[in-house]
Structure 1
């Protein structure tokens, strides 16, 4: 027997009461199901220690599992809710990654990074007849926003380990709150500016920079956010005339710049518009390549906020 790939489900629920690590039974509510792709699951991670014993003959001494947690990665299509003041159906995942949510009346749902008051939640991952639970789950994500595809959020989440169990039929899942994504093209990306220039971008990856670790000490086991954050951006674009902008000079001089991105237009995509603003970036690496006889630049830049939690902000509207 083996499990069927298509019989996978992920349910997510934020903890609203109780204590860290409580099981909030997300599968009890069908709308807690997530629409995901590209699932990667590590059912039992953690530290293992070699026994290093001597028995008078050759052979591996064996190991002991010392700490245990679960890691789950997957992609989510970046799309709005269809209503400019309703959070996307996958918004609980933002909260698990150290992000705040603010609904501005009649305008948008706004997101930014936080450095305290972190939330956690419970994840149920069903792989056909097996249920893997993740308690106290937290994690990180990246945004893939380049042209020629569906913009996606790639999440990597960790949770406290619970021994997997056998289950019967999969629970009911309701995906009605998820909407169709907008493909990223020259027509649908209404705004793209990098260091003040409307560049001809083909690839864009944004890494907000949060990180989580499994902490297991006396009186405390937790998936904990690291005490530092280092965000970055990687993008590829047609090389502009060096007399207009020189990314080599920007790197040499450490000149700060801004990134602005809007997917969707105000006229036709209300409720499905995604805006991203990164107010301070510093060029880190610049590489030139050629495709079809034309030069392209691959640029890596650090996100360098000038004040607390001003790394980046985005909105769905």
Structure 2
């Protein structure tokens, strides 16, 4: 009997002790995913390169190996401003801290460089489970016009084993419906904005096709003879935008590009309390300007480098 792709369940849970199976369950830790893929054994092959007096290859030895997992989840709030969204645990595995704040009630996610957390993840493939221990990853946020706002995760973990076992039943009530990326549901790219206590003020709003933000984590699998470790060694966050600019606006932004200037950027997805996500970056450098078009209209695209001001503050995601 064939195994079905749709019969896939992913579970994920923050580990108390790095590399110790946190045993995520379908009832408490199911992840509502799209386009999930797994690499069961991402191994370094060791060629024996034997000479036998004739042509022909040799067997290879399986060397150090990790497990890779990737999937996307919808970016939506929890339904309540002071309650972490279901994807909050996933961000913690990407060198991000979760903070519950008041006045107004909100959850803020900010990058960190120490005290990093790891996840145990189970990938159930219709009767077979692949286990990732001590997994850490990178995340890319995509919020483009006419699409769903999404978070794309790419994970590396230690091999926790593969076992034939029935799928659990997933409980997905914590995963809420996102808003569509339309005019009515966003406050567009805002350059020169100021952020304080869950509120963006000032700045200039630019008509755009949306935002793509890459956390830029450097995730390494490091095997040694006594240990195998997955860690995040660095972060260089980047983004891309395409905006509709007047001639004067384009000329002014090109002056900033040539002068290597930075400026703040804000972007807000959703309007209702409990399903509103605000993104703020205090120091963004516009680079690589390029011309594009949409239905015959001129757009100007930029790559963005998000740099820290005081450290671990190059961006924040705020759920309101």
CA contact (8 A) 2:71 2:153 kept: yes
Q: CA deviation at 1:30?
A: 0.6
Contact 2:190/2:265 (<8 A) preserved: yes
Q: Does 1:219 align with 2:217?
A: no
The equivalent residue for 2:295 is 292
Matches within 5 A, 1:275-290: 275-290=278-293
1:12 aligned residue: 12
Q: Identify the match of residue 270 of structure 2 among 220, 243, 264.
A: 264
Aligned counterparts of 1:248 and 1:51: Cα–Cα separation in 2: 56
Contact 1:199 1:240 in 2 (8 A): no
TM-score by length of 1: 0.93
Q: Please say which of residues 47-56 and 117-126 is displaced more in the overlay.
A: 47-56
Q: Is the 8 A contact 1:72 1:156 kept in 2?
A: yes
Give me the whole-angstrom Cα distance separating, in 2, the residues matched to 1:53 and 1:247: 61
Q: For residue 79 of structure 1, report the CA deviation from its aligned partner.
A: 0.3
Distance, in Å, in 2 between the alignment partners of 1:139 and 1:85 is 25
* Corresponding residue to 1:252 among 249, 258, 263: 258
Q: 1:206 Cα shift? A: 0.3
Deviations, residues 159-187 of structure 1 (Å, cap 9, x unaligned): 1013311113x212111111111111111
Q: CA deviation at 1:257?
A: 1.2
Q: Is the 8 A contact 1:208 1:312 kept in 2?
A: no
Please, which of 235, 241, 249 is the counterpart of residue 235 of structure 1? 241
Q: What number of residue pairs does the alignment pair up?
A: 309
TM-score (normalised: structure 2): 0.92
Q: How does 1:22-171 map to 2 (within 5 A)?
A: 22-27=20-25, 30-105=27-102, 107-168=105-166, 170-171=167-168
User: Which has more strand, going by share of residues?
Assistant: 2
Give the distance between the partners of 2:58 and 2:204, measured in 1 at CA: 61
Mapped to 1, the partners of 2:227 and 2:310 lie a distance apart of 31
> How many angstroms apart in 2 are the aligned matches of 1:277 and 1:218?
43
The equivalent of 1:308 in structure 2 is 311
Task: Please say if residues 143 and 154 of structure 1, whose CA atoms lie closer than 8 Å, have aligned partners that are also in contact.
Answer: yes
Deviating beyond 6 angstroms after TM superposition, the runs of 4 or more aligned structure 1 residues are none
Match of 2:200 in 1: none
User: SS in structure 1 opposite 2:184?
Assistant: coil
* Partner-residue secondary structure (3-state), 2:91: helix
Secondary structure at 2:257 match in 1: helix
Q: Deviations over 1:110-154 (max 9, x none)?
A: 110000000112101001011100011111101001221110000
Question: Could you list the runs of 5+ residues in structure 2 that have no partner in the other structure?
Answer: 193-202
CA distance in 1, matches of 2:137, 2:85: 18
Q: In structure 2, what is the Cα distance between the partners aligned to 1:263 and 1:303?
A: 19
8 Å Cα contact 2:266-2:281 kept in structure 1:
yes
Residues 81-122 of structure 1, C-alpha deviations (whole Å, 9 max, x = no match)? 000000001211011111001101351001100000001121
Query: Which residue of structure 1 aligns with residue 195 of structure 2?
Result: none
The match for 1:176 among 156, 173, 177 is 173
Q: CA deviation at 1:240?
A: 2.7
| Deviation (angstroms), 1:284 | 1.8
Contact preservation (8 Å) 2:188, 2:207 = no
